[in-house]
Structure 1
Amino acid sequence: MKKPVRVIDEPEPKKAPRADRPPAEGFVVVVDGHFKSEFDTLEAAETSGRELKSTYPMLKIEIYDAATKVRTLLGL
């Protein structure tokens, strides 16, 4: 099988963020102690977390603030 030829104008693929390290900026939804989705605003992170919590109420969902390095438990 031949490898595809890469075009020079094509941008480099981004490295996937590491799930075991907290991000340096923004807000993250933490599900059962694992970093999941990153957001720019607290409202967006809370909205996503509340949707997950309403669908799967047994999950422990927290919002991590990278600036203050604080986790806040999300309640319905």
Structure 2
Amino acid sequence: MKKPVRSIDEPEPEQKAPRADRPPSEGFVVVVDGHFKSEFETAEAAESSGRTLKSTYPMLKIEIYDAATRVRTLLDQDT
């Protein structure tokens, strides 16, 4: 299979793939067993997603990471 040929005038396509080994710089992230997973604009959206995961898989350790303050908050199973 041949790769498409780009001319010199064409800019490189932007690749905005998040790095799994670096914390994000903005927003809120669901952290599952120490690994960054889904990013959200608001804490409420991240918490809602985390609670859905926690209700389905109660054995997981789920935290919400606030990129602005660099603080992780553990989601309790009860709440």
- Aligned residue pair count: 76
Q: Which amino acid aligns with 1:3?
A: K
TM-score by length of 2: 0.82
Larger radius of gyration: 2
Give identity over the alignment, percent.
81
Which residue pairs with 2:2 in the alignment?
2
> What is the DSSP-based 3-state SS (H/G/I as helix, E as strand, rest coil) of the residue aligned with 2:25?
coil
Structure 1 segment 1-76 matched on structure 2, within 5 A:
1-4=1-4, 12-76=13-77
**Root-mean-square deviation (Å):** 2.1
Measured against aligned partners, the alpha-carbon deviations of 1:30-49 in whole angstroms (never above 9, x if no partner) come to 00011111100001000110
Q: Which amino acid aligns with 1:48?
A: S
Q: Tell me, in whole angstroms, the C-alpha distance in 1 between the residues paired with 2:37 and 2:19.
A: 10
For structure 2, the 5+ residue unaligned runs are: none
Q: Tell me, in whole angstroms, the C-alpha distance in 2 between the residues paired with 1:12 and 1:72.
A: 36
State the shift of 1:13 in Å: 4.1
> What is the DSSP-based 3-state SS (H/G/I as helix, E as strand, rest coil) of the residue aligned with 2:38?
strand
State the shift of 1:3 in Å: 1.9
For structure 1, the 5+ residue unaligned runs are: none
